[in-house]
Chain A
Amino acid sequence: MSHVLIADDDPDIRELVRFKLQQAGHEVTAVADGAAALSAARENANFDLVLLDVMMPRMTGLEVCAALRSDPETSAVPILMLTAKAQERDVEHGFAVGADDYILKPFSPRELLTRVNAALARRRS
C-alpha cells in the first residue's frame, strides 16, 4: 500500500481522486491548498507520491513542487501535476521545476490511477 498526498482546492476533484485511489488500495491524505500540501509533506516525509493541482490558493502547485524538490527530505518523491487543458504552458513549467508527469483536466479517473500506479512502480524499481 502506498501513501499518496493530493492537493486540490476543488472538493469535487479532491473527493473523486481520493475515492479512486483508496478504492485501488492506496492510503490518501487530501488537502485543499498549496501551503497545506507543503506542510503535510514536511511533517510526513513518507509520502510515496504527491499529486498537485497547478492553480491553488496560498501557494500554486508549481511553487509547492519547487519547494519539495529543493528539500533533501522530499526531493525524491514522485510528483504529478494536475492542470487544465487551457494551461498547457504550465506543463512546461511543471517539468522545469521537477514534476515527473502531468494529467490534463478534464481527466479520466481510470487514466489517473494508471499514471499514479506507473509513477509508484518507477519509484519502487
Chain B
Amino acid sequence: MSGVQVMTWSLAILAAAMTALLVMTAVGRLLRLRRRRRREHLRDKLRPAVVALLAEPDGELQLPSTGRRTEDLFEVLSLDYLAKVRGESREALVRELDARGTVVAAERRVGRWGGVGRASAAELLGRCGLPRSRDPLLGLLTHRSAEVRRVGVRALGRLGDPETVAPLLALVDAKRSVPAATVTQALMRVGAVGAPALRSALRSGSPVQRAVAAETLGLQRAVEAVPDLVVNLDDDNAEARVRAAGALGRIGDPRAFEPLVRSLNTDVSLRVVAAHALGDLGDPNAVSTLVDLLDGARHDVVTAAAESLTRCGPDGLVALRRCTDRGGDGFRQARAALARFELGRSPTNVEADYIQFPVT
C-alpha cells in the first residue's frame, strides 16, 4: 500500500470516527433533553396536587398517577417546596412524606453505600426536620467523603436540635473535619435553642471550637453570652480572642465597652477587631480612645479606628473631621473614612474610584 493510500485511509477513518462521535453526542443530548422534558411534564402534572395540599393543609393529597417515577418526582418536588413554604403547609407536606414511607426510605438510604444516595437522603431528612432523624444523620459526620459530611452537617442544622451542637462543633478539628464556615451556618440554623450549648463550648479544650462558638454566638446576637465572651477576650489562643471581640461588637451590648477598650492594649490582631467592635457598639465614649489610635503606626488599626469613628454618632464625625488636618496615615484614613461615610458607599467602590482618579 502506497503512502498516499495510507494517508487517505487514515483520513477516512478519522472522519468516520469524528462523525460517529458527533452523532453519539447529538443523540445523547437529545435523549437527555427528552428525559428532562418528560420529567418537567410530569412535574407540571404533579404540581397542582402538591399546591392544593399546601394551600389547604387539612386536605388530602391526590396524585394524578401512581408508580415509582411519580413517587420519585413527588419526592423531588416536595424537597423543593419544603425550602419555600413554612408553617402548617410545610408540616402537611412532611406528614405526607412520612405517611408515604419516603422518610423511612431516606433513613435507610443514609446508612447505605454510595455518597450520592446518602447525600440526597440526608437533604430530605434535614428539610423534613423530624427529631427522629438525628441519629441517622449523626452517622454521616464520620463518613469518608467530605461532601457527605457537609450534607450531613447542613441537614443536622435544619433539625434545630440543641443536642446536635456538640457533635457539630467537634467536626471543626476532627480527623475527618468539615470547614468551620459550614459548621457555623449549621449552628446558625439550630437557632437560639443552641445558645446554652455554645456558651458551654466557649470553655472547650479546643481553641478552634471556642472560636467557632464565639463567632456563632455573635452572629446570633446572643446577649446572654456577653459575660462569657468577655472572659474569652483573655483566651490563650489569638483566634479565639479575636472571634470573641468580633462577637461582642456584633451583639452590641454596652457591657462590652470597657473590656473592649482594655483589649486595645493587647496584641495587634485583637486591637484591630476591638477597634471595629467599638464602632459596632457606637458608644460616643469610645471617641477619644479611637482618636488616639489614629496616631498609631499600624495601618490596619488606624483604618479600623477611622471607620469606627464614623459609627460613633455626631461626636465621632466631629472628631474625625478635626483629625483630617493631622499628618501621617491617620490623616489619610480619616479623610477616606469621612468620604465613604458621606458618600454612603462601600469601601471597595471608593477605593476603585481612587485608583481611577487619584486624589492628591
Contact = CB atoms under 8 A, between A and B. Distances in A.
Interface of A: 10-13, 15-16, 19-20, 23, 105-111
B87 A13 contact: no
Chain A interface SS verdict (over half) = helix
Count chain B CB atoms within 10 A of each CB in A11, A19, A109, A111 and give the residue with the most. Answer: A109
A84 to B, nearest CB: 10
A109 B89 contact: yes
In the complex, the 8 A-B pairs of residues with the closest C-beta atoms, listed nearest first: A108-B87, A106-B86, A20-B55, A19-B51, A16-B51, A19-B55, A106-B84, A15-B51
B81 interface: yes
Chain B interface SS verdict (over half) = helix
Nearest to A23: B55
Interface in B281-316: none
A108 to B, nearest CB: 3
B48 A105 contact: no
Contacts of B203: none
Interface of B: 47-48, 51-52, 54-56, 77, 80-81, 83-90
A63 to B, nearest CB: 20
A20 to B, nearest CB: 5
B80 A12 contact: yes
Contact of B87 (A11, A20, A23, A111): A111
14 contacts: A12-B80, A12-B84, A13-B84, A15-B47, A16-B51, A16-B84, A16-B85, A19-B51, A20-B55, A106-B85, A108-B88, A109-B54, A109-B87, A109-B89
A5 to B, nearest CB: 19
